A and B are shown apart, each in its own frame.
Chain A
Amino acid sequence: MLKIQGLECGYGRMKVIDGVSLEIGNESVGLFGPNGAGKTTLINAVMGMNKPWKGSIELDGTSIVGFETHVMARKGVALVPQERELFPGMSVEDNLRLGAVYIPHAKDSIQEQMEAMFALFPILKERRKQLAGTMSGGQQRMVAIARALMSKPKLLILDEPSLGLQPSIVAEVFDVLKELKKTVSILVTEQNVRESLKSIDRGYVLENGKIVLEDTAKGLETNPHVLKSYLGL
């Protein structure tokens, strides 16, 4: 589905991603690494927010380098950004509707998708009329995930979904991801390796802009580097 090869990109003259190659099929893939490793930069490159300096990014065998963000969304790649990027002055319902209305393959089934989202996140049904900007951080994260899923994506990208959330909400978010991976390919970046390993099939470790490790979830769980650097064991 998504194939990245020899990707280099950064900001100004500073190289942040240095020759990264990774692949995502019909599975759930984790991308782990410390702050500043380049996880968000990599996602921005996939979503057309950062122009790659070198390398290729392909979606279903077609190069997507140079595509704008809205084109990527219409091609079936949905992003749940770290900062959520909701429309704070609009209701939950309007936020969700906007998630699908400009997506060719999703705009005809908005109502049924919305009911599916309300089944996945019942709190959003109760608060469908509430302005998104007045909700708690955890609820906003749910709106952001639901908004992304409204577009019936082929690939769902989540950038640090647990950031700033209380532990009970983090567990809830990862439970939802476990459920979602049955129907959609997922790329999730995280610092909370312990929780996310439970919901992924495979994972990569990104450090200083380079992939230093690639393994299955089980393999990563027992890897000495992961145990020491990310699980504190």
Chain B
Amino acid sequence: MMAPKQRTAILAGLAVIGTIALLAWKPTVVIYGLQAAGLYASIAIPMGLILGIVHIVNLAHGEIMMVASYATYFACKALGMDPLLAIIPAALVMAVFGWVLFQLTIKRALKAPELNQLILTFGIAIALSQSINLIFTSQTYKLQLDYVSSSIDIGDLSFGTWSFVFVAVAILFAYGLKYFLTKTTTGKAALAVGQNPRGAAIVGIDVNRMDALVFGLAIAMVGGMGALFLTKSAIFPSVGGPFTMKSFCLIAMAGVGNIPGILGASLLLGISENILRAFRDTRAWADIVFFVLIIVVIMSRSLKGRKS
């Protein structure tokens, strides 16, 4: 049996060799893969926080980001503001939205069977996307921003640089959360609620309040991401759905509560998608590669479980 440290070293070695080979073959696969990974991880980390502490799969996660993007879009249009300036206000507004959503719906389903929780959050997802569809129709909205088209030329290689901002946000989210959960009193209490809600109540932690706080924090993070997402992409009512599925897939790959694992899984997904996009024949398959990855991960876990 291989020791965990040995296994990590071998995996890291393989990752380095693979990256060098990809850089030599098609550097854009690594560059765009990294950028996509940043975007996926930035959206998946708040979902992982909710699942790890509140213990609920939020199937409305992408739709909540979509709502934040719409709110930011119309606020920016009305006030003539750059969406980057709207990140913090969007996060604050969405934190309140998340808190209200928690008190009105999620709180009531926390002790319900998991299927009921899934139906509830799936229902919220449909309600949000259909409400936006009714109000704004399925028309796409996009802000024209000059800085988004910035690029770098290195020899024959030319690539966009703006999307690296998502990599920075993903790292900020991962390490910011790690600091919050391991170094602050409130963070440790939140972690305690995640590890043992009954034990947390016994030591005087108001579990319901802590769940609401964590849910609000995660929705604030995804709200800020909604504003940032607007800088890169066009928005429409169903734009969030795939991000819910991909976020869920990444958390399943990383394991619940494993935030650094989400970064790694996002990198794997981002690069896999961009390898397929590098070929004309397989380009269309890129968007479903996460299904293949999740099947492989689940199969390998069940085989490992059977062996042990």
A residues sitting closer than 8 Å to B (CB atoms) are 47, 49, 68-70, 73-74, 78-79, 81, 85-90, 94, 97-99, 101-103, 147-148, 151
Bound complex: CA of A179 vs CA of B10, how far in Å?
A: 54
Of B15-23, B136-144, B200-208, which binds chain A?
B200-208
A-B interface contact total, Cβ < 8 Å: 66
Interface residues of B in 178-210 (CB under 8 A from A): 185, 188-189, 191-192, 195-196, 198-207
A87-B191, A94-B188 as given contacts; A102 in contact with B196, CB under 8 Å: no
Bound complex: CA of A68 vs CA of B197, how far in Å?
A: 13
- Is chain B's binding surface mostly helix, strand, loop or mixed? helix
Contact present for B203 and A89 (CB under 8 Å): no
Chain B residues near A73 (CB-CB < 8 A):
201-204
Chain B residues near A99 (CB-CB < 8 A):
203
Interface residues of B in 194-233 (CB under 8 A from A): 195-196, 198-207
Can you list 30 A-B contacts (CB < 8 A)? A49-B198, A69-B201, A69-B202, A70-B200, A70-B204, A70-B207, A73-B201, A73-B202, A74-B204, A79-B202, A81-B198, A85-B196, A85-B202, A86-B196, A87-B191, A87-B199, A88-B196, A90-B188, A90-B191, A90-B192, A90-B195, A94-B188, A98-B188, A98-B189, A98-B200, A98-B203, A102-B206, A103-B203, A147-B203, A151-B203
Chain B residues near A47 (CB-CB < 8 A):
202
Chain A residues near B201 (CB-CB < 8 A):
68-70, 73
Bound complex: CA of A89 vs CA of B53, how far in Å?
A: 13
Q: Across the A-B interface, give the 3 residue pairs with the lowest CB-CB distance, nearest first.
A: A85-B199, A102-B204, A73-B204
Bound complex: CA of A45 vs CA of B192, how far in Å?
A: 23
Contact present for B205 and A70 (CB under 8 Å): yes
Contact present for B188 and A88 (CB under 8 Å): no
A70-B207, A94-B188 as given contacts; A81 in contact with B195, CB under 8 Å: no
Contact present for B188 and A102 (CB under 8 Å): no
Bound complex: CA of A103 vs CA of B189, how far in Å?
A: 13
Excluding A73-B203, A85-B202, A87-B199, 13 further A-B contacts by CB distance (< 8 Å) are A47-B202, A68-B206, A69-B201, A70-B204, A73-B204, A81-B202, A86-B199, A90-B195, A98-B188, A98-B189, A98-B205, A102-B205, A151-B204
